[in-house]
């Protein structure tokens, strides 16, 4: 009998039998294993995951002693933003938002963010950001980062000086496309160093790079090179490199970082290059498929992330927001699904933080 309330990847509530959940979990872990060439979850892990998903309680949580660090991206925009960034639409100052996260929402770290939340638009307003960073550092206790997306798409026409590589590819101008990606990556790296060193000089604990490689493999290389330069300039800065997806999209296809082609790398491989670039913490990301069940998505996500944690020398904080980490793609992600994903990532994938 289908008597277990669970969710689809778009958040819709469905009922499934224990066997249906188990079948979906097995298919999900097999999909991740096939994609990334990593082991599937073993029988004990699948049993534990089944218990978590099928738990009768609305909310689940980790056992005492298993708590992990809770880090944030997008800064105050979760309060102040419009629904384009899933914000609550509550206008408030950046200091107030930071202190509310510290004192009321249990944040272990937080960050300052610009409304555009991308490296490029921050460059011309960096003095303003430095001033706000100095002010908030005087009040806040928890580690306080600056956060932005590398977002290399902004370096391509019509927003930037380089031709759009995907458009060039469609015209079979493959070499020109690759050259445009490479030039944009160098530009991004320079901007990361500029923005990063300025904000660290203003007292920021560090820099959080959110959705690295969103524009593909050259975006990934540009970010790693920028991180490398930032690490050299600021040896003690806290650097968090969070990704955009489980696989690095090969738009260029051959661009390398540290002698390795980055296209097609999975979390357990991405983390090693992030560490080489100078990251202190790696943010693993696995996207949710809205047409599949929570069981499929969560088993798949845990499979990728577990191997990443195992392979990584630096701490791994899994990204668990709307549509990532097994969590449904839904603005008001159901609490039953969020807490199940959280517990599974902590107690099965053994992440160092969320």
4 binds another protein (CB under 8 A): no
Provide CB contacts within 8 A for 339, sequence distance 6+. Answer: 59, 60, 61
Dump the DSSP string for 244-289: SSSS---SSSS-EETTEE-TT--HHHHHHHHHHHT-SEEEE--BPP
| C-beta atoms surrounding 13 within 10 Å | 12
Residues 94, 112: contact at Cβ < 8 Å? yes
Coil vs helix vs strand at 302: helix
Nearest to 225 by CA among 318, 317, 152: 152
Identified binder of another protein from the candidate list 17, 127, 131, 291, rule CB under 8 A: 291
How many residues sit in the footprint of another protein (CB under 8 A)? 117
Our finding on whether 27 is near another protein (CB under 8 A) is: no
Count of Cβ atoms closer than 10 Å to residue 94 Cβ: 20
Q: Is 220 in the site for another protein (CB under 8 A)?
A: no
Minimum CB separation of residue 221 from another protein in Å reads 13
Q: Which of 35, 50, 115, 183 binds another protein (CB under 8 A)?
A: 35
Q: Does 343 bind another protein (CB under 8 A)?
A: yes
Work out how close the CB of 33 gets to another protein at its nearest, in angstroms, rounded to a whole number.
Answer: 12
Is position 216 an interface residue for another protein (rule: CB under 8 A)? yes
- Which x/- pattern, by CB under 8 A, does the window 36-55 give for another protein? --------------------
Min separation Cβ 320 and another protein, Å? 5
The answer, yes or no, to whether the previous bond of 158 is cis (omega within 30 of 0) is yes
Using N-to-C axis directions, what is the helix angle for 43-54 and 294-311, rounded to 10°?
Answer: 130
Residue 252 tokens read as: 């260029």
Give CA–CA dist 100/106, Å, rounded.
Answer: 9
Site string for another protein, 63-92 (x = CB under 8 A): -xxxxxxxxxxx--xx---xxxxxxx----
Closer to another protein at the Cβ: 28 or 353? 353
Instruction: Return the residues of window 179-198 that contact another protein according to CB under 8 A.
Output: none
Strand, helix or coil at 352? Answer: coil
Residues whose CB is less than 8 angstroms from the CB of residue 50 and which lie 6 or more positions away in sequence, other chains included: 18, 21, 22, 25
Q: For residues 196 and 222, what is the distance between their CA atoms, to the nearest angstrom?
A: 14
Q: C-beta of 81: minimal distance to another protein in Å?
A: 8
320 is an interface residue for another protein by CB under 8 A: yes
State both tokens at 7.
């969710």
As measured in angstroms, the least distance from the Cβ of 61 to another protein is 4
Min dist. Cβ of residue 4 to another protein (A):
19
Alpha carbon distance 218, 177 (integer Å): 11
Of 107 and 299, which has the nearer Cβ to another protein?
107
- State how far the alpha carbon of 13 is from the alpha carbons of 73, 293, 336, in Å: 28, 10, 10
The reply on whether position 174 binds another protein by CB under 8 A is yes
Region 114-173 residues binding another protein, contact defined as CB under 8 A: 134, 137-144, 153-154, 158-159, 164, 166-167, 169-170, 172
Kindly tell me which residue out of 24, 45, 102, 193 binds another protein, with binding defined by CB under 8 A: 102
Piece in contact with another protein (CB under 8 A), picked from 38-46, 121-129, 220-228, 344-352:
344-352
Which range in 38-46, 183-191, 210-218, 297-305 contacts another protein by CB under 8 A? 210-218
Window 228 to 267, contacts with another protein (CB under 8 A): 236-238, 240, 247-254, 263-266
* Closer of 19 and 173 to another protein (Cβ): 173
* Residues recorded for the chain: 354
The rounded distance, in Å, linking the Cα atoms of 302 and 319 is 12
Q: Which is nearer to another protein, 43 or 146 (CB)?
A: 146
């Amino acid at each position: 009998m289908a008597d277990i309330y669970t969710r689809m990847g778009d958040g819709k509530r469905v009922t499934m039998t224990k066997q249906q959940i188990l079948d979906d979990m097995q298919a999900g872990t097999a999909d991740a294993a096939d994609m990334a060439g990593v082991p599937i979850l073993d029988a004990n892990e699948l049993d534990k995951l089944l218990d978590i998903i099928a738990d009768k309680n609305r909310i689940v949580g980790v056992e005492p002693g298993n708590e992990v660090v809770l880090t944030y991206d997008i800064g105050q925009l979760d309060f102040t933003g419009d629904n384009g960034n899933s914000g609550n639409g509550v206008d408030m100052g950046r200091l107030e938002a930071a202190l509310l996260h510290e004192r009321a929402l249990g944040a272990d770290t937080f960050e300052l963010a610009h409304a555009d939340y991308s490296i490029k638009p921050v460059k011309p307003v960096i003095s303003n950001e430095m001033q706000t960073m100095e002010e908030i550092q005087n009040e806040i206790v928890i580690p306080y980062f600056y956060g932005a997306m590398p977002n290399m798409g902004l370096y391509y026409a019509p927003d930037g000086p380089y031709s759009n590589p995907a458009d060039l590819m469609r015209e079979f101008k493959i070499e020109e496309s690759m050259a445009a990606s490479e030039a944009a990556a160098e530009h991004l790296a320079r901007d990361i160093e500029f923005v990063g060193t300025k904000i660290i000089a203003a007292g920021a604990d560090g820099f959080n790079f959110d959705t690295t490689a969103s524009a593909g493999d050259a975006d990934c290389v540009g970010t790693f090179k920028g991180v490398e330069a930032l690490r050299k300039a600021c040896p003690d800065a806290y650097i968090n490199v969070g990704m955009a997806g489980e696989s690095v999209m090969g738009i260029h296809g051959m661009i390398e970082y540290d002698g390795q082609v980055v296209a097609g790398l999975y979390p357990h491989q991405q983390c090693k290059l992030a560490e080489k670039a100078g990251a202190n913490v790696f943010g693993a990301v696995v996207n949710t498929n809205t047409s599949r069940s929570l069981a499929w998505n969560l088993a798949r996500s845990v499979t990728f992330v577990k191997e990443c944690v195992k392979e990584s020398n630096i701490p791994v904080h899994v990204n668990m927001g709307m549509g990532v980490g097994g969590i449904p793609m839904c603005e008001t992600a159901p609490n039953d699904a969020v807490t199940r994903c959280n517990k599974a990532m902590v107690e099965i994938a053994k992440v160092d933080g969320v």
